[in-house]
Amino acid sequence: MAFTAGSLLREAGRKLADAGFESASLDAQILLAHVLKRSREFLLIHSDVVLQQQEQAEFELFVNRRLAGEAIAYIVGEKEFFNYKFKITPSVLVPRPETELLVEHTLVFLQKVLQNISDEQQKTIRYHDTCTGSGCVGISVKAMLPLIDVSVSDISKDALAVCKTNMVAIVGYEIPYFESNLLDAVPGTFMCITANPPYVSTDYTNMLMEKKLKEPRIALDGGVDGLDIYRKLIPDAYKKLQEGGALLVEIGEEQALSVCEMYSKTGFTDITVYKDLAGHDRIVFGVKNEVLS
């Protein structure tokens, strides 16, 4: 039996809503748009399009994967972040909208550094993104500020493979990358370092794992209190920052106080917390300014 896009969307939307998915109709639209290689807008305007049997079967398979809990980004293999399309596999975390804030504040800092300096000098400004995963933060910054010297690192070889694909697709070539436990194997010093490290407590990660979203534990689990990675990263980054350089990290919404304390104990100044659109503390910023301290 032949079905139209509209009737399939309604049926799938109902199934997903009944199963408790909050974004049921959006999910159904993204999945059907992916099957038909069309935009969501096309589907909404052409809801009378009749699907071929094979397309129908593929859509049903995707809806069932979603019903089983898998993240949409893994089913369609991509996620939009900062207006760029990133390839996503279960080796990397699905980029979150709030992480765009990390990119925004990094750009604000770097743009100040770049003010009034020549193109030649811009090429000497070094910026590094660790715990890069899909590369969404580091690659977005490189795409926005193509002259500066950007590198990325991750402890996971599989994540770096995904990241390399994204570098080529978005920047046009591979930027330097390091397989490294945080900054251990990353050479040199930097004007800016960023990280969206795993910061979820082990207990909460266990609960997330049960949801079968397929996200990698290594990208989420930050130890008993979720703060383990910051304990190493913050002092390590301080050593690798140049005078006047900044460290920006994403944090869990209840971690601002502890993370700010780590920044200040390490010697950072100008420590600032930025909130996300939901009003949650999300980014911590600090500068290495030895002259003042």
Q: Which residues bind ligand GLN (CB under 6 A)?
A: 93, 96, 196-200, 220
Q: Which is nearer to ligand GLN, 135 or 197 (CB)?
A: 197
Q: Least distance (Å) from ligand GLN to the CB of residue 86? A: 15
- For residue 127, give the nearest of 196, 185, 168, 175 by alpha carbon: 175
Q: Which is nearer to ligand GLN, 166 or 196 (CB)?
A: 196
Q: Which is nearer to ligand GLN, 49 or 213 (CB)?
A: 213
Q: Least distance (Å) from ligand GLN to the CB of residue 278? A: 11
Q: Least distance (Å) from ligand GLN to the CB of residue 210? A: 14
Q: Least distance (Å) from ligand GLN to the CB of residue 55? A: 32
Q: Which is nearer to ligand GLN, 9 or 139 (CB)?
A: 139
